[in-house]
């Protein structure tokens, strides 16, 4: 499966790197015209090596950025980080989420359960 997010990042950074190499090659080509062939060849090799190295450096980084599916959060237990009156923040697993409670208020530190999602906001209820 092709990781388009990774390739888009590599493409954009490669374009920037190639522009910088072209500027450097143009300056060096004017100062040393007898070495213009080697300067251009070096620039092409540098660009290819940059793309190759970027792929192997950034592939693990992008691969481990996981977004939790919304359905996966429904039914999860967590703790209110702030007072939910009725809005606040809760901690589910290791992440803090914006939340709204079904009752009037929930004190910080109270255990809550996710019952629904409203966009990226969790709707929670207090666990007795």
User: Which stretch of 49-53, 92-96, 107-111, 122-126 has the lowest confidence by average pLDDT?
Assistant: 49-53
| Burial state string for 56-91 with b = 16 or more CB within 10 A and e = fewer than 16 | eebeeeeeeeeeeeeeebeebebebeebbeeebbbe
pTM of the model: 0.47
Look at residue 61 in the predicted model and tell me its pLDDT: 64
Return the number of other C-beta atoms located less than 10 Å from residue 5's C-beta. Answer: 12
Look at residue 16 in the predicted model and tell me its pLDDT: 86
Look at residue 6 in the predicted model and tell me its pLDDT: 72
pLDDT digits (tens, 9 = 90+) for 50-99: 878 877 777 776 666 555 566 788 899 999 999 998 899 999 988 899 99
Instruction: Please report, for the chain, the start and end positions of each structural domain, with discontinuous segments joined by +.
Output: 4-63, 70-126
Per-chain mean pLDDT for the chain = 83
What span, in angstroms and rounded, lies between the C-alpha atoms of 124 and 114?
4
What span, in angstroms and rounded, lies between the C-alpha atoms of 2 and 19?
26
Q: How much of the chain, in percent, has pLDDT values that exceed 70?
A: 90
**70-126 classified as CATH 2.40.50.140:** yes
């Amino acid at each position: 499966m092709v990781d388009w997010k990774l390739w888009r990042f590599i493409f954009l950074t490669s374009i920037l790197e190639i522009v910088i190499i072209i500027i450097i090659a143009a300056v060096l080509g004017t100062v040393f015209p007898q070495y213009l062939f080697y300067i251009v060849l070096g620039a092409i090799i540098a660009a290819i090596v940059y793309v190759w190295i970027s792929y192997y450096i950034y592939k693990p980084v992008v691969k481990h950025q996981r977004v939790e599916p919304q359905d996966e959060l429904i039914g999860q237990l967590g703790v209110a980080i702030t007072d939910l009156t009725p809005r606040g923040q809760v901690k589910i697993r290791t992440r803090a989420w914006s939340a709204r409670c079904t009752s009037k208020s929930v004190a910080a530190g109270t255990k809550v359960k996710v019952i629904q999602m409203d966009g990226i906001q969790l709707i929670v209820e207090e666990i007795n």
